[in-house]
């Protein structure tokens, strides 16, 4: 994972906050773009975390099947 600044849970929580800000409205165009950009960065972090977890689970399943 390229960025270790967030755990999945932290990134997901911040992503939910960004979505709420966008849904509430009241932002200038520039603010909305900045929030959207941050949201996309957080989506990338979440996806990287999920991909790493999926790989780990696959590896563990392979080890379990080899040992069975």
Question: pLDDT (tens digit, 9 = 90+) per residue, 17-36?
Answer: 999 999 999 999 999 999 99
- First-to-last alpha carbon distance for the chain, in angstroms, is 31
Res 2 pLDDT > 50? no
Model's pTM, two decimal places?
Answer: 0.81
Of 52, 39, 31, residue with least CA distance to 12: 39
């Amino acid at each position: 994972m390229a960025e270790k600044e967030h755990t999945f849970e932290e990134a997901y929580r911040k992503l939910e906050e960004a979505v709420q800000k966008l849904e509430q409205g009241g932002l200038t165009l520039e603010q909305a773009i900045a929030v959207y950009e941050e949201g996309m960065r957080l989506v990338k972090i979440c996806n990287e975390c999920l991909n790493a977890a999926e790989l780990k689970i696959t590896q563990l399943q392979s080890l379990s099947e080899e040992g069975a």
